[in-house]
Every structure is written in C-alpha cells, then in structure tokens.
Structure 1
C-alpha cells in the first residue's frame, strides 16, 4: 500500500490514514503497465498494453461512446478509493471528515501541484473547470469601460460569465475568430495582439478548444500579453491529463481544469492555478475571511462538501502516471487518426481540425 500510494506522492502518514483501501489489483495493473517499456509512438499501437488499461474500467460496452471528453469513466481503483473514503467519513462524520480527511486534502494538493509543475500554495482544488474559471472571471477587479478579450470559439459558459459582467459592471467584451483549422501559431498570436487595446485588462483563451480540439500557442500568447501588462486566463478543461505538458510550457497567470475529464478522476473534481503574486487580487466566489486574502485556500471556501471525490484523485493520478502522459497522448492521436485519416480522402468531408500532432490530440471535428 505504501508503495502504491507513494507513486502518487502520498506520504506514509497519509497511507496509514487510509485503512480501507485495498489496492492490490491496482498494483498488479500498474506493474503490468510498467512491464511494457518502449517509446510512446510504438506503445500507441500495442493492443496488449491497452487491453491491460481497458480492464481497469467497468463501462457499458453496448454503446460506442466517442465522447469521453465531457466526463470520462473513472478506473475501478479510483471508484473503490472514493467509496472507501465515503464510508470512512460516514462512520464519524464530524471527526473523520473535518479532522482527518481535511488533512488528506493537503496531500492531494501537493500531488496535483507536482504533476502540474507549480507550488502547492498556488493550487486550489475545485469542482470543475467552470468553477475554476469563474472564480477568476468574477473575482477580478474590473471597472466600467475595462475590456476583456477572448475568441468566439471559447466555451459558452465562460463567454456567458463575461457577458454577465458586461451587464453588471459595464465592462466591454471583445471577441474574434480563430481560423479552422489553424496551422500557424504566429497568426494566432498576431490575432490576439491585433485585438489588444489600452483598455484590455485580461485575455481568456483555451489551451485545447472544446469544439475543434485545436491546441493553441498559449506560451507565445502569454509572452506577448505580458509585454503589454495583460494577464492570461487559460481554460485547460481539455488539456490536463490529455496533453503531455507542465506549467512552464504555458507560463500563464491562471489555469483551470476539470479532473473528471482526461485524468479520469471522480465526477466533481478540478483545480485552479493562480500565480502566487496574483492571489490577493482575486476575490473568491464565496466569502472567505480576511486572514485568507493571500491564501489559495480562500477559493475553496464553498461550505460543507464531501471530501471523498477529492481524496480519490490520488488513485486517478497514479493510474494516469502509470500509463504515462506521453504514451496516453500518442494513443489518443493514434485512435483519432484511425477514423480521421480515411475521411480526409473524401470530398464530402471538411475537417475543422488539423491532424498534425502539434495542433491537436484526441479531439477532432
């Protein structure tokens, strides 16, 4: 058990506080995955390797589901862990949840921060991307006449959030369209730069577009925007657990994601990254005490909520790392190309997504 939990970065103290977990099957699966060495592109076509991965999930195979990006099934080890945490909390809720499981959550924060490549004190555990994004969008100090910039292809809920601030606070929303498909990163950067004005106070952009799967040049946009003094909010709903990257590859100011998508964690889990020097400048969605003004945990002040889904993130993260982010991304591209490449030969089909690996991964339209 210590070895298994150690793979997720959990301490032996945390392991001792998880008496209900029985991850022997999970350990066997991870050992089987580790026994398949080789480059990611070669593993992508190794059906014996992916058969082992497949057995970790209990899914309805009577329906062919081509949309796992909205909500992914959770591997059995994470479901079992979540159930164990629920039962443990239920035995003595006031003590077990508030005194013990609250401490476990700090271990999860450290695990996620290590995987993302940030300081744990910059990592808030949330319920989904929408909550993460709206914490920043609604918490920024914006005054009448200030402007925010995004695209017409960004996620509707995020655009709706800006439009509410237009109605409520009198800010201005500027939008433009990205070519589909887009294969020139500098063209995208130039479009963002072209629409910047002296009134622009923030840029919102997707890392991976939810409709087309387009991978956007986040780091290049961030560098351009930083020269103009404009922070960048990155919607990472479809990138974390999907693409092989860490924070230094983006260098953004804010990043939010859902963990029940590509990481396959339990439903209702996500995270928000806020650069340490920007935490004070963002108001939480729900009120937090003044003592937390500089604390990332102020964004987690949502009242009573179960800890079990959050704590089971550890098993989902271990499973993801056992597969290997690069292997996973290569497999997703391989599966995408199995159906997409033959269709490129048809004059009746138009692709809105570039199939070049640097511009898309597991999503194509």
Structure 2
C-alpha cells in the first residue's frame, strides 16, 4: 500500500472512530458485554436495594483507575476523576488531533458535537436545541448572568450560600450597572420546603427580575426545592436561573421539570466527564434574549450554538463527554443516585455516633445525596481536613463560609466501603 492509500485508510478509520456513540466506542470495546451481563443479573433489583450490593458496584469500581489510588479521594464534589474509558477517549482524540490539528479538529472531531449534544439532551430530558456545550458551570451560568438585559435598579435575589463565582458575577453587575443584588442566608440543614420558598417570596419586590438558585448547595449538600421556588417566582413574573453543578449526572430529574428558565452545570463532577467540560441549558423561547459572552454572528439569534463560539478549544475533551455518557447510562441515573446516597449515609450515620463529631447535612433523601459536612469539636475545618490528609491520606475539602463550618465529604460510585470505614476510623481517632 502506497503512502496515499495509507493516508486515505487512516482518514477513513479516524472518521469511523469519531463519536462515542458509534460501534467503535471505547465503552463498547471495554465494558459493553460484561456490563450487559451484569445488568441482566440485577434487572429485577430496585435502585434502593441495589445500592448496597457490593458485588454489583465492585464491577463499576473497576472502571475507574481512581479506585486504586493511594489517596482516598472524597472531594468528588470539587471535581471527579474520569473512568478509564473517558481517559482513553481523550487520549485517543488528542493523538488524532495532533496528526494535523487544523484538519482533524475542524473536519473530523467537530462533526461529533451534535451527537454529544443529543446525548446530553436525552439525559437532561430536554431538546438538543436547548443545550450548549462549554467548559464548566461557571461559564454556563455567567453567560446568562452577563447576557440578560437588566437596568439600574432591577433586583436579583440570590443566596450567600451560592457558588462564589456566581455571586461575584452578580456583584460585578451591581458595581458596574447599578442593579440591586440581594442575598438570603439559610441555616442549613433544612427539611421544610415551605419555609425555604417563603423566604424567597418575602424578599421579592416589584423590582425583582431574577431569582438565582442553587439546586444542590456545594458547601454542605443541601438539596433545595428549586421546582417549588421556580413556580412561585413565575407567579410573580420573575425568571429563574438554576445552578445545577452538583445535581446533573447524579440526581434523577429532567431539567425542564425544575421549571427554571436557565440551567448551567459542570460535567466533570458526578457525570465523570473530562475535566473542563460543562453544559448550558436555556428554555428555547428564552435563547434569543440572552447575549453571548463571545459574539458569533447574530447575537440575538435563537440558535443555542451561538454560545459555543469559543474559538479554538479542546475537541478531545468534548468527544470524551460521549464516553462519559455511555458509562453513566450503562449504570442508570437512579441507580447512581441511590448508591451515592447510600455511601453518604453509610459513613455519616457511623460518624455521628462518635463523641465530639457533628454532621451538618440532612439524612432525609429529599434534602441530601452525595455531599455531607462533618466537624470535630475543638478543630477548625482546615485543621480537620489537614489531619485527614496528612495522617490518613484521605482527601476532603474544608468549608468555612459564614454559618457553615465543616469538612465536606463527597464519595462517588468508585468509592469503596473500605475507604469509608477508614474515614470513620480516622474521625474516631482524631475526635478521641
């Protein structure tokens, strides 16, 4: 075979490999047959019953290289490691790209974005024409925060317990344009929807235009009743932005059912997509009114793709999202949700029995899932987190935000029960 034929053969194979949704997907190569047999074996099990079945989850754990890490990673709420298939996809597409970036990026990999969009939309229970692919929840939500027309004196209601980047974006608009940014503070954990909704209702005035909500509060894992708040806000003619960074790919819901107008998320948390991947959802009839951060042609277009004009970016990361979707869908959202909630309850219910240890997160399934806050009497969050890492090689993150003072612990499906037993034992020794 001559050089020209070799080149054509390579291009043909490269084209066939593009997209995690082809028969050549890495997930199909590594897991499809085994996982189908596994799924058949447990098809009659409910997600709640399956949550504690270690035989099932041990197979899932093998799909993550992080499951054998010398460090116990319990900060998946920050960023989760990707499964092996996702790592391999990014590597494969990166190698392909570097055969000739201007060709393989724009002519080959760029053609796979629509399939990824469709996969994300299917998981989110929405139209692909409402989904833009970007780099993280910050980019998604700041696109909306900066892109909405607001004038001096217009009010936005958020919380002091929202994510800092979003709070800072609103504060910048207030400083630069004179909008009024009001923030509520909650005494979490809370297990009363009506109390939460009423607090937002009481803050509304005739000048209120936007409610900014966090679906799962990243500081301590509180799940907020965003659907009820959104419905109340719409009764007052107010739009709703939802930060879903810690809910998408974990909790079992359809984005439109939250009844918000705008939704942003990171895909590198519980979906386990490549690091640096995110998604923006905008209700179709709202797209034209949001100005893009980086202009692309008609900024008032109703085409969701106007928010993807980032210039040169990582196409391998985008394609890796597809393999993350394959991995996630083979498990199932509800199974994942119940397993991760089980893991949180497993360690937290043991830890709360240790004298001097406090848990700062609800155990009610409607108000918590993956994340939980823990503290030890006499230690600051930073001191406790430091001890867990230096003495026991357990990686967490310390939280010190107003009335939330704790160490955040967030397991994932690759987390082993033995890892959580080590956490509880470590807390016992530190508290003792």
TM-score (norm 1): 0.92
Contact 1:205 1:232 in 2 (8 A): yes
Q: Is 1:233 paired with 2:238?
A: no
The alpha-carbon deviation at position 181 of structure 1 amounts to 1.1
Structure 1, residues 129-161: CA drift from partner, whole Å, max 9, x if none? Answer: 000010000111111111110011111111011
Q: Is 1:275 paired with 2:300?
A: no
| Partner in structure 2 of residue 109 of structure 1 | 117
> Residue 298 of structure 1 is aligned with which of 306, 309, 313?
306
| Partner in structure 2 of residue 139 of structure 1 | 147
> Residue 55 of structure 2 is aligned with which of 28, 48, 51?
48
The alpha-carbon deviation at position 14 of structure 1 amounts to 5.4
Q: Is 1:151 paired with 2:159?
A: yes
Contact 1:181 1:351 in 2 (8 A): no
Distance 1:19-1:341 versus aligned 2 partners, 3 A rule: closer
The alpha-carbon deviation at position 333 of structure 1 amounts to 1.3
Q: Is 1:174 paired with 2:182?
A: yes
How large is the RMSD of aligned CA atoms in angstroms? 2.1
1:61-100 correspondence runs (5 A): 61-100=69-108
Contact 1:212 1:352 in 2 (8 A): yes
Q: What runs of 5+ residues in structure 1 fail to find an aligned partner?
A: 1-10
Distance 1:51-1:22 versus aligned 2 partners, 3 A rule: closer
Q: What runs of 5+ residues in structure 2 fail to find an aligned partner?
A: 1-15, 374-432
How far apart in 2 are the matches of 1:347 and 1:15? Answer: 49
How far apart in 2 are the matches of 1:215 and 1:53? Answer: 26
| Partner in structure 2 of residue 260 of structure 1 | 268
Distance 1:220-1:90 versus aligned 2 partners, 3 A rule: same
Matched positions, count: 355
How far apart in 1 are the matches of 2:106 and 2:276? Answer: 19
Q: Aligned to 2:305, what secondary structure does the other structure show?
A: helix
| Partner in structure 2 of residue 7 of structure 1 | none
Contact 2:89 2:323 in 1 (8 A): yes
283-292 or 169-178: bigger deviation: 283-292
Contact 1:32 1:52 in 2 (8 A): no
Q: Is 1:119 paired with 2:124?
A: no
> Residue 27 of structure 1 is aligned with which of 19, 28, 32?
32
How far apart in 1 are the matches of 2:355 and 2:258? Answer: 37
- The structure with the largest strand share of the pair is 2
Q: Aligned to 1:181, what secondary structure does the other structure show?
A: coil
Q: Which has the larger radius of gyration?
A: 2
Distance 1:139-1:243 versus aligned 2 partners, 3 A rule: same
The alpha-carbon deviation at position 342 of structure 1 amounts to 2.5
How far apart in 2 are the matches of 1:70 and 1:15? Answer: 25
Contact 1:189 1:220 in 2 (8 A): yes
